[in-house]
Chains A and B, each alone.
Chain A
């Protein structure tokens, strides 16, 4: 009994920080319709800044609790100000851009902040020195419970009450709620939205900063805090219902309690438990506990995606020549070039599989690396536990990815837009955590080594040819599908679900089909990659890997068939040549992403189309 009480209290205290972060995310989303990836970075900065400010204040006035509280407040305000600054400088310019670009822009901010934090605070974890009053315990039911955690339990409800007062009883709050529903009408009534949006960003970012600040005494400040918390926050927001603060509160309690008890009952599978809870909630309530179906804030503009046409013959010939050159590479190029070519083949398939979902399917996945990683781990685990040869491993790889694609896709394809993006990212993060946590099975951070091809494929040249046959073959198959009846049905379901269903197409099933096929493709790519590298690591599943895939597709253009191929080649080459030359490559990549989105808020293809139409418009006027 005592144990249950203590675990329950631990859950409550963890819920507080989780609620602070999730409520900030949900408030920002509610008004601006932006899912702020950088929210986790604000949380991280909250912890780092609290560390710095607390130490400075303690050096000056002794290790007093009051100074610590003061430091927390300063840190939260500073993070809030930074959030407001980012809103003014960056996000204000892209409110009308497609959701995907907004997510990418905020991810660019994540990368920038990561490198800045590394430069300022260094790579080591920074624990806060714990004066006696931070180490105090309280006797509860015969057990010792940290006094600080007991105080944390109160923070969540206190913030909930404060937010309730703000939103129900102040003019600012009423305007925010009105803008959540209809921004344009609020503007037509004379309210300057810019101030409202900046204010909301300040509030949401400060909440994230506060969340990071209050966990500092029990954790440390460290560089991976941002992406670790953002996936958790997405889970909470999705479970609670996008845009609902009380929903975020309930969901953070639920998730934190599941974690608190899960860590004792099934220590290696906490995240699987979280996933099951999330799945259960979404089956019963697809829009979360207190969420409602998304009213599309950005009205369907009636813009039509350009028709996907087969590439012109010249492009086909160019592709064939490039392929022949690649296949002949072992005869004239060095071993490094051949290794790079294997990677290129792999990434072409990886990008093409994501493109099938994104382009013809209109399903923007933010966690496609999950299936790539599952493929790699499928091959490696098959070798480790079943001692299967490479041939079987390469069958196992897509199958494992496809199986998970079926399960995750079942939930994901019912949703759209940001909900879908958050859910796919959360799934990917769960797979990543399983690979990372479950050391006995997956080797954890050390990965699984010695995943070598069969003897006949061990030579550099042989493996390149195998990679080309499998990856380029599968890519061509994916391209073929786009022009097959399945591809037509997929595009029909994307452009008008209602009309597609009226002519007898089951839109959800078709999208699920695309999801599974994309997972199979990514899984095969992962398998080939694993044997090519000889090892697998959790980083194959990480969020940056998913973003890589998105960037490849975007670079090439979403609504072209050869786009992902060109994009993958361009991006990977760029990565190998340019980015690796910079010590601060995250900063460079992040800035590049942000500038790209600012320069082409409608996407590169949209930009070209806009220019084209403008030229035509002048002619017609």
Chain B
């Protein structure tokens, strides 16, 4: 469904991504694993067009080339993006935040409505008119996912959804991701927390210094302690 080939990206002169090549199949959950600064977030931003991919890169989404397109065009094709730092509109209420994310329904998928999202994120239902700035970190994380789903994406990029959350919220987050997958969406998420990744993901790709070092199922990863020690242990 998403096919990335030879993706390079730069911040100024710093070479962040080197020849990243990834395949994401429809309906699967792929987790990008790697340490801080490995290039997981940049990969997602480059897919979204928020960081410009270097010439020669190819990012195909459902067969359409999207490398070099504007972020809003990419989003409208059905790619949703949930940033790591949440970026809730703090002056806007929960309902208004959802409104910003709203895009027309897409063929083959049941359109998301606030009510349907509140079933997955029950906390949000109790604070419809609360400004985003007066919510806890966990609530903001829920809202940012719900806001992206309002755009009725077919594939969601989730950047470190469990980061900095209390264990009970992490539990809710895992359930929410499962619910989103069950709704027929494809998910790419980035994680440092292998335990969390194991609970939600089908397949993993390990990134280190902007290079994809390893891909395979999570079961296969567990069978290779050397890989884990080399790229993931702190």
Task: Say whether A192 faces chain B, with CB atoms less than 8 Å apart.
Answer: yes
Contact: A188 with B48, CB < 8 Å?
yes
Given A178-B92, A617-B13, also A187-B70 (CB < 8 A): yes
Instruction: For A171, list chain B residues within 8 Å (CB).
Output: 99, 102
Task: Say whether B111 faces chain A, with CB atoms less than 8 Å apart.
Answer: no
Contact: B75 with A188, CB < 8 Å?
yes
Q: Which of A177, A188, A617, A620 contacts B92 (CB 8 A)?
A: A177
Given A191-B100, A613-B13, also A178-B70 (CB < 8 A): no
Task: Say whether B89 faces chain A, with CB atoms less than 8 Å apart.
Answer: yes
Q: Which of B81, B96, B99 contacts A188 (CB 8 A)?
A: B81
Contact: B151 with A189, CB < 8 Å?
yes
Q: List 8 A-B contacts (CB under 8 A).
A: A171-B102, A178-B96, A181-B92, A182-B87, A184-B50, A187-B71, A190-B75, A192-B72
Contact: B83 with A181, CB < 8 Å?
no
Task: Say whether A339 faces chain B, with CB atoms less than 8 Å apart.
Answer: no
Contact: A187 with B72, CB < 8 Å?
yes
Task: Please give the distance in Å from A31's CB to the nearest CB on chain B.
Answer: 13
Q: How many A-B residue pairs have CB under 8 A?
A: 64
Contact: A174 with B96, CB < 8 Å?
yes
Instruction: For A193, list chain B residues within 8 Å (CB).
Output: 72
Q: Which of B13, B75, B89 contacts A187 (CB 8 A)?
A: B75
Rounded to whole angstroms, the CA-CA distance of A126 and B13 in the bound complex is 57
Rounded to whole angstroms, the CA-CA distance of A301 and B114 in the bound complex is 36
Instruction: For A174, list chain B residues within 8 Å (CB).
Output: 92, 96, 99-100
Rounded to whole angstroms, the CA-CA distance of A187 and B74 in the bound complex is 9
A564-608 vs B, CB cutoff 8 Å, 1 = contact: the mask equals 000000000000000000000000000000000000000000000
Q: Report the nearest A residue to B93, measured CB to CB.
A: A174
Task: Say whether B217 faces chain A, with CB atoms less than 8 Å apart.
Answer: no
Q: Report the nearest B residue to A186, measured CB to CB.
A: B100
Rounded to whole angstroms, the CA-CA distance of A620 and B54 in the bound complex is 14
Task: Say whether B184 faces chain A, with CB atoms less than 8 Å apart.
Answer: no
CB proximity to A under 8 Å, residues B31-59: 48, 50
* Contact-residue bracket for chain A: 20 to 34
Rounded to whole angstroms, the CA-CA distance of A514 and B17 in the bound complex is 43
Rounded to whole angstroms, the CA-CA distance of A231 and B144 in the bound complex is 41
Instruction: For A182, list chain B residues within 8 Å (CB).
Output: 87, 89
Most chain-A CB neighbours within 10 Å: which of B70, B72, B83, B103?
Answer: B72
Q: Which of B70, B75, B96 contacts A189 (CB 8 A)?
A: B75
Task: Please give the distance in Å from B136's CB to the nearest CB on chain A.
Answer: 19
Task: Say whether B203 faces chain A, with CB atoms less than 8 Å apart.
Answer: no
Rounded to whole angstroms, the CA-CA distance of A332 and B96 in the bound complex is 75
Task: Say whether A321 faces chain B, with CB atoms less than 8 Å apart.
Answer: no
Instruction: For A266, list chain B residues within 8 Å (CB).
Output: none
B147-166 vs A, CB cutoff 8 Å, 1 = contact: the mask equals 11001000000000000000
Q: Report the nearest A residue to B8, measured CB to CB.
A: A621
Task: Say whether B123 faces chain A, with CB atoms less than 8 Å apart.
Answer: no
Rounded to whole angstroms, the CA-CA distance of A174 and B98 in the bound complex is 10
Instruction: For B89, list chain A residues within 8 Å (CB).
Output: 177-178, 181-182, 185
Task: Say whether B193 faces chain A, with CB atoms less than 8 Å apart.
Answer: no
Contact: B92 with A191, CB < 8 Å?
no
Rounded to whole angstroms, the CA-CA distance of A171 and B87 in the bound complex is 19
Q: Report the nearest A residue to B48, measured CB to CB.
A: A188
Task: Please give the distance in Å from B36's CB to the nearest CB on chain A.
Answer: 18
Rounded to whole angstroms, the CA-CA distance of A193 and B73 in the bound complex is 11
Rounded to whole angstroms, the CA-CA distance of A186 and B100 in the bound complex is 7
Instruction: For A53, list chain B residues within 8 Å (CB).
Output: none
Rounded to whole angstroms, the CA-CA distance of A90 and B221 in the bound complex is 54
Q: Report the nearest B residue to A170, measured CB to CB.
A: B99
Task: Say whether B91 faces chain A, with CB atoms less than 8 Å apart.
Answer: yes
Rounded to whole angstroms, the CA-CA distance of A193 and B81 in the bound complex is 17
Task: Say whether A175 faces chain B, with CB atoms less than 8 Å apart.
Answer: yes
Contact: B99 with A181, CB < 8 Å?
no
Instruction: For B64, list chain A residues within 8 Å (CB).
Output: none
Given contacts A177-B92, A188-B83, 16 further A-B pairs with CB under 8 A are A171-B99, A174-B99, A174-B100, A177-B89, A177-B91, A178-B96, A178-B97, A186-B100, A188-B71, A189-B100, A189-B148, A189-B151, A190-B103, A190-B151, A192-B72, A617-B13
Instruction: For A192, list chain B residues within 8 Å (CB).
Output: 70, 72
Task: Say whether B101 faces chain A, with CB atoms less than 8 Å apart.
Answer: yes
Instruction: For A178, list chain B residues within 8 Å (CB).
Output: 89, 92, 96-97, 100
Instruction: For A302, list chain B residues within 8 Å (CB).
Output: 12
A610-621 vs B, CB cutoff 8 Å, 1 = contact: the mask equals 000100010010
Main secondary structure of the interface of A (DSSP, over half): helix
Rounded to whole angstroms, the CA-CA distance of A187 and B99 in the bound complex is 14
Contact: A190 with B76, CB < 8 Å?
yes
Task: Please give the distance in Å from A601's CB to the nearest CB on chain B.
Answer: 17
A-B pairs, top 7 by smallest CB distance, nearest first, are A190-B75, A187-B71, A185-B87, A178-B100, A178-B89, A190-B76, A187-B72
Rounded to whole angstroms, the CA-CA distance of A545 and B83 in the bound complex is 46
Instruction: For B83, list chain A residues within 8 Å (CB).
Output: 185, 188
Rounded to whole angstroms, the CA-CA distance of A193 and B50 in the bound complex is 14
A358-391 vs B, CB cutoff 8 Å, 1 = contact: the mask equals 0000000000000000000000000000000000
Task: Say whether B171 faces chain A, with CB atoms less than 8 Å apart.
Answer: no
Q: Which of A181, A187, A620 contacts B90 (CB 8 A)?
A: A181
Rounded to whole angstroms, the CA-CA distance of A171 and B83 in the bound complex is 23
CB proximity to B under 8 Å, residues A249-278: none
Contact: A189 with B147, CB < 8 Å?
yes
Task: Please give the distance in Å from B179's CB to the nearest CB on chain A.
Answer: 21
CB proximity to B under 8 Å, residues A152-189: 171, 174-175, 177-178, 180-182, 184-189
A278-294 vs B, CB cutoff 8 Å, 1 = contact: the mask equals 00000000000000000
Q: Report the nearest A residue to B77, measured CB to CB.
A: A190
Instruction: For A186, list chain B residues within 8 Å (CB).
Output: 100
Instruction: For B102, list chain A residues within 8 Å (CB).
Output: 171
Rounded to whole angstroms, the CA-CA distance of A174 and B96 in the bound complex is 7
Q: Report the nearest A residue to B81, measured CB to CB.
A: A188
CB proximity to B under 8 Å, residues A182-224: 182, 184-193
Instruction: For A181, list chain B residues within 8 Å (CB).
Output: 89-92
Rounded to whole angstroms, the CA-CA distance of A187 and B76 in the bound complex is 10
Contact: A189 with B13, CB < 8 Å?
no
Instruction: For B12, list chain A residues within 8 Å (CB).
Output: 302
Task: Please give the distance in Å from B226's CB to the nearest CB on chain A.
Answer: 33
Instruction: For A185, list chain B residues within 8 Å (CB).
Output: 83, 87, 89
Contact: A189 with B99, CB < 8 Å?
no
Instruction: For B48, list chain A residues within 8 Å (CB).
Output: 188
Q: Report the nearest B residue to A181, measured CB to CB.
A: B89
Q: Which of B13, B72, B87, B92 contacts A190 (CB 8 A)?
A: B72
Instruction: For B76, list chain A residues within 8 Å (CB).
Output: 190
Task: Please give the distance in Å from B50's CB to the nearest CB on chain A.
Answer: 6
A511-525 vs B, CB cutoff 8 Å, 1 = contact: the mask equals 000000000000000
Task: Please give the distance in Å from B69's CB to the nearest CB on chain A.
Answer: 11
Instruction: For A191, list chain B residues within 8 Å (CB).
Output: 72, 100
Task: Please give the distance in Å from B103's CB to the nearest CB on chain A.
Answer: 5
Q: Report the nearest B residue to A617, measured CB to CB.
A: B13
Q: Report the nearest A residue to B78, measured CB to CB.
A: A190
Instruction: For B97, list chain A residues within 8 Å (CB).
Output: 178
Most chain-A CB neighbours within 10 Å: which of B13, B75, B81, B100?
Answer: B100
Q: Report the nearest A residue to B102, measured CB to CB.
A: A171
Instruction: For B91, list chain A residues within 8 Å (CB).
Output: 177, 180-181
Rounded to whole angstroms, the CA-CA distance of A177 and B13 in the bound complex is 34
CB proximity to B under 8 Å, residues A6-45: none
Rounded to whole angstroms, the CA-CA distance of A175 and B70 in the bound complex is 18
Instruction: For A188, list chain B residues within 8 Å (CB).
Output: 48, 50, 71-72, 75, 81, 83
Rounded to whole angstroms, the CA-CA distance of A617 and B10 in the bound complex is 11
Task: Please give the distance in Å from A610's CB to the nearest CB on chain B.
Answer: 11
Rounded to whole angstroms, the CA-CA distance of A178 and B96 in the bound complex is 9
Contact: A184 with B100, CB < 8 Å?
no
